[in-house]
Amino acid sequence: MKPYQILLSGITILPVIGVIILLVWRKATKIQAAIVGIVSESFALVIPLVLLSTLRKEGAIFFSVPWIPNMNISFSLELNWLALTFLLTEVLATLAAMIYSLGDQDGDKHSHYYYALLLLFSLGMSGTTLSNDVFLFYIFWELMLIASVLLILAWGHGELRFRVSLKYFIITHLGSLMVLVCLITLYVNFGTANLSELILHASTLPRNTQIFLTTFFLIGFCVKMAIFPLHIWLPDAHTVAPMPVTIILAAAMLAMGTFGVLRFPYSLFPLETIQPFAIWLMIAGLVSEVYGALMALAEQEIKRIIAYSSVSQMGYILFGLGTLTARGMQGAIMHVVYHAIVKAMLFMVVGIIITVTKERDIRNVGGLGGKLPILTACAAIGLLGISGMPPLGIFNSEWMIFAGGFDSGVSIALTVITLIGSLLTLVYALRFFGKIFFGDQQPAEIMEQSPRALLVPTVALTVFLVIEGLLPGPLLAWAAQGLSTVFGGVF
């Protein structure tokens, strides 16, 4: 086994060491626990960057050791261009959330457990993106659910967290069970859990079986994406969760549903099988886009406003996947990354607003622009970003998604409606910004300045959003290479 293959395994192994340290070090302070968490998570960022040159040469990097030989199951990982894009997105989102948590009151109690669960949450997502064995994939897939449920249950806000945690677990687990049915069906038919082998042979399944599996895969992964009407777990979970957990849920975990769609039905089955689903994916994307925007416009609780915007933004991604065109699907992958940046930043802004004002109702907050100019600038850039204003990043991905819609030839009218519907994002963004940062100051007494520990990561993500928007070339290249991984060079 080559050194770079062993290094790949470190992305999943080294965070586990951090978890063990945190579980053993029970007297660790919050800062000490955070440092262990941040350092451990940083390995998941540094290792793929170190492997980047090897990935360019090899096209994919594999690590595999036997796990359950008599069942033909192995601990098998694969780093390819698609996995790299999603891996870096979730790792950066988790690191940003961990750094932000240093200035946040959540996790002050039992900090060693708190950061251990944050690491396990991220490990579940990292393992999901790297797994080249469907048995292993499902274990990591469930790990991110279990860790996030425990975080909401133990550190969530209000008595409703018990009910919200149960609702979140049941609904998302039902989606996971649909995915599990598909994975077991593939394993039973081909006698292997190796995903690379399954990709080679899945197209030989009867057409009806392919359609059945595609249907179950799409529904299961759309639950994780929080596509309407499968979104009902999201607003409550985002609202009740501690802010760092909300950041990871919105910026990283939702992306796992998109990854699942690309990694399984799109990779396993020929385009002829996927084609009948295209128009329905585009319609579902449009409905989710409009519904999420309207709910964000109607909501009064500021955290729920940004939560519903995630339902809307996931609609754009699903629409792009449904175009089945190179530009549309590349735009969808880019939108995942841009959405992660802007959503993490906007939730950080919301966290600061709640900290400064002690209010969550948008009707009770106003006039912050004069008091908090840096926060106002960050909010303005983030809201313009999510509205798709150039030169910020989401403009680039929406351009690609809409271009893909016109390229598809499926329904030009549907693409036009989706494009016009994007104006609703601007409307709820303007409402949010106008009510909170303009008008008379309320409440009458607020903190004189934003807490620096919360403001620094917020500003950093704002700058990153601007840079990514101005320099979209590298991300577009990664998206194109990732799409080639899925379709084997067809696009």
Asked if residue 150 lies in contact with residue 167, where contact means CB atoms within 8 angstroms, the answer is no
Q: Taking 70 as the threshold, does the pLDDT of residue 107 lie above it?
A: no
Rounded CA separation 127/156 (Å): 25
Report the pLDDT value the prediction gives residue 444, as an integer from 0 to 100. Answer: 67
Per-residue model confidence (pLDDT) at position 490: 53
- CA–CA separation, 491 and 325 (whole Å): 8
Q: Tell me, what's the pLDDT at 358? A: 86
8 A C-beta contact, residue 318 and residue 226 = no
CB atoms within 10 A of CB 272: 10
What is the C-alpha separation between 242 and 265, in angstroms, rounded?
A: 34
Confidence at residue 488, expressed as pLDDT on a 0 to 100 scale: 65
Question: Dihedral sign, CA of 333, 404, 288, 207?
Answer: negative
pLDDT at 359: 85
Average pLDDT over residues 118-141: 95
Helical (H) or strand (E) element with 74: strand 73-79
Q: Give me the residue spans of the domains in the chain.
A: 275-491
CA distances from 376 to 302, 349, 459 (A): 15, 9, 11
Q: For 457-477, how does the pLDDT look when each residue is reduced to its tens digit (9 = 90+)?
A: 999 999 999 998 898 888 888
Give the residue, 227 or 414, on which the prediction is more confident.
227
Please, are residues 11 and 44 in contact by the beta-carbon 8 Å criterion?
yes
Per-residue pLDDT at 390 exceeds 90: no
Q: What is the CA radius of gyration of the chain?
A: 21
State the DSSP H helix or E strand holding residue 78, giving kind and residue range, or none if neither: strand 73-79
**pLDDT band (50, 70, 90) for residue 222:** very high
pLDDT of residue 442: 72
Return d(Cα 225, Cα 284) in angstroms, integer.
12
pLDDT of residue 104: 77
Q: Which two tokens stand for residue 213?
A: 């599996």
Is residue 489 predicted with pLDDT exceeding 80? no
Question: What CA–CA distance (Å, rounded) separates 372 from 180?
Answer: 48
CA separation for the pair 82, 89 (Å, rounded): 11
Which of 349, 411, 441, 436 is CA-nearest to residue 386? 349
Among 147-161, 189-203, 381-395, 441-455, the minimum mean pLDDT is found in 441-455
Arithmetic mean of pLDDT over the chain: 90
pLDDT by residue (tens digit) across 177-187?
Answer: 999 999 999 99
- Give the three-state DSSP class for 369: coil
Model confidence at 148: pLDDT above 70? yes
Average pLDDT of span 231-244: 91
Interval 343-380: pLDDT, tens: 999 999 999 999 888 888 888 888 888 888 899 999 99
d(CA 133, CA 123): 16
pLDDT in tens, 35-54: 999 999 999 999 999 999 99
pLDDT at 433: 92
> Is residue 146 very low, low, confident or very high in pLDDT (cuts 50, 70, 90)?
very high
Q: Cα angle at 317 between 313 and 323, to 5 degrees?
A: 140
Which pLDDT score is estimated for 443?
Answer: 77
How many CB atoms within 10 Å of residue 163?
12
Contact predicate 446/353, CB 8 Å? no
Give the tens place of pLDDT for each residue, 244-271.
Answer: 999 999 999 999 999 999 999 999 999 8
pLDDT, residue 79, reads 94
In whole angstroms, give the CA distance from residue 418 to residue 357: 36
In terms of phi and psi (left: phi > 0; alpha: psi -120 to 50; beta: otherwise), the region of 158 is left
143-148-150 Cα angle (round to 5): 100
Does residue 219 register a pLDDT over 80?
yes
Q: What is the pLDDT at residue 392?
A: 85
Average pLDDT (201-216) is: 93
User: Using an 8 Å Cβ cutoff, are 393 and 338 in contact?
Assistant: yes
Confidence category of residue 414, pLDDT binned at 50, 70, 90? confident
Burial call 187-204: b when 16+ CB within 10 Å, e when fewer = bebbebbbbebbbeebee
pLDDT class for 389, splitting at 50, 70, 90?
Answer: confident
Contact 394, 335 (CB under 8 A): yes
CB-CB contact of 408 with 477 (8 Å):
no
Give the mean model confidence (pLDDT) for residues 202-206. 91
Residue 434 Cα distances to 155, 296, 309, 342, 343, angstroms:
32, 14, 17, 19, 19
What element of type H or E holds 107?
Answer: none
194: helix, coil or strand?
strand
The pLDDT of 300-304, averaged and rounded, is 91
Q: What is the pTM of this model?
A: 0.93
Mean pLDDT across the stretch 305-333? 93
Q: Name the 3-class secondary structure at 366.
A: strand
Provide the 10 A C-beta neighbour count for residue 350. Answer: 25
Average pLDDT over residues 284-302: 93
Above 90 in pLDDT, residue 393?
A: no
Rounded CA-CA distance 374/366 in Å is 16
